[in-house]
A = this chain, B = another copy of it.
Amino acid sequence: MAEANGPDYLDSLLERGLLLGTGQDGIYGRGADFEDVVERLDALIVRRWRTKDGAEPVRFPPMMPRRDIEASGYLHSFPQLAGTVHSFCGDMGEHREMLRCIAVGEDWTTNQKSVDLALTPAACYPVYPVIARRGPVPERGWLIDIASYCFRHEPSRDPARMQAFRMHEHVRIGTPEQILAFRTMWLERGREFAAELALPATVDLANDPFFGRSGEVLAANQRRQELKFELLIPILSAERPTACMSFNYHVDHFGQVWQMRTPDGAIAHSGCIGFGLERLTLALFRHHGLDVASWPEPVRRVLWDAA
């Protein structure tokens, strides 16, 4: 793999029509070949593990109640990445004023009102409050297969750092032992998955991009407790490989927030593993070339023939 910075790789993807520019960094259309690979990866994840593991599929739209995001703690840790939904709630006079502002290029958005929705920041966030309403966590725990478009406000010309992207996750809720066994199993599966796709991967301890000065403490704690691992694949550089999967142990954080309890009355623990579908797709195009027809035969077999 030749070295290239983000904008260079982005340009080659745009030239080939794999991504389509919209004029906003991190917001792209997906051309036929790019989307086909995303969909095949997604289908492969379903085909291989959903039935085998007995994971329950649940899907949400790319937005969720704002108060669930407030309760989740996301705004403590990542206020800069969150997106909220606002709408026009005025009368005809205010509408005329809005149109006047648009016509002369004045800012009309300060009159938009928050409508109690936030954009989904990671596919699993809407799951916990909905699952918590089912009552006590059963003995076997919960295992949910979830996928969704996610939003993070971080405009960038790095194609591996989109503002809107898809994440496919398995979410585990239960006892600490259940969560740790789940994560250990997926760390191994992640390595095997990358090998099967002929992608060079390493697994490493990681931390989330917590906001502000106190964020440094949170990041250090997360690393010390070994709560987050990532499967890293070089996309833009060999020195700074990109996280294409993550393996997370939330301890009892979501259990506390949503008061989820195991049958013995203890606060439930949770964890999730996530595939970054666009990032894995970018890694495949990076390592195997921009023409899917010339990808290595074993990789094509996994994605195309096994359906």
Residues of A near any B CB (own CB < 8 A): 20-24, 27-32, 35-36, 56-68, 70, 75-76, 79-90, 92, 95, 98-99, 102, 107, 109-110, 112-117, 119, 126-127, 129-130, 133, 149, 151, 153, 162-165, 211-213
Assembly stoichiometry (copies): 2
- Chain B residues with CB under 8 Å of A35's CB are 57-59
Query: Closest CB of chain B to A67's CB: distance in Å?
Result: 8
Which of A30, A64, A75, A84 is most buried by chain B, counting CB atoms within 10 A of its CB?
A84
Compute how far the CA of A29 lies from the CA of B61 in the bound complex, rounded to whole angstroms. Answer: 7
B residues less than 8 Å from A115 (CB atoms): 83, 153
Chain B residues with CB under 8 Å of A27's CB are: 61, 63-65, 117
Main secondary structure of the interface of A (DSSP, over half): mixed
Chain B: CB-nearest residue to A95: B79
**Contact assessment for A61 and B164 in the assembled complex, using a CB-CB cutoff below 8 Å:** yes
Given contacts A57-B32, A114-B112, contact A75 B102 (CB under 8 A): yes
A80: chain B residues at CB < 8 Å are: 87-89
Sample of 30 A–B contacts (CB below 8 Å): A21-B133, A22-B130, A24-B116, A27-B65, A29-B58, A29-B126, A29-B130, A31-B58, A32-B58, A36-B57, A63-B151, A63-B164, A66-B109, A75-B102, A76-B99, A83-B86, A83-B117, A84-B109, A84-B112, A85-B85, A85-B119, A85-B153, A86-B109, A87-B153, A92-B212, A95-B212, A109-B114, A112-B114, A115-B153, A149-B149
CA A109 to CA B59, docked complex, whole Å: 27
Contact B102 A70 (CB under 8 A): yes
CB pair A23 B61 closer than 8 Å: no
Q: Decide: B30 and A59 in contact? CB cutoff 8 A.
A: yes
- 4 closest A-B pairs by beta carbon, nearest first, are A61-B164, A109-B114, A87-B153, A79-B88
Q: What residues of chain B lie closer than 8 Å to A130, measured between beta carbons?
A: 20-22, 29
Chain B residues positioned under 8 Å from A83 (CB to CB): 85-87, 115, 117
Per the bound structure, the CA–CA distance linking A24 and B49 in Å amounts to 31
Closest to A32 in B: B57
- Pick the contact of A117: B24, B64, B75 (CB < 8 A): B24
Other 5 A-B pairs with CB < 8 A, given A87-B153, A115-B153: A20-B130, A22-B129, A23-B65, A29-B60, A80-B88
Is the beta-carbon distance between B149 and A61 smaller than 8 angstroms? yes
How many angstroms between the C-alpha atoms of A79 and B30 in the bound complex? Answer: 28
CA distance A129 to B28 in the complex (A): 12
A127 to B22, CA, bound (A): 9
Q: Once bound together, how far apart are the Cα atoms of A85 and B163, in whole Å?
A: 12
Identity of the chain B residue whose Cβ is nearest the Cβ of A103 in the assembled complex: B70
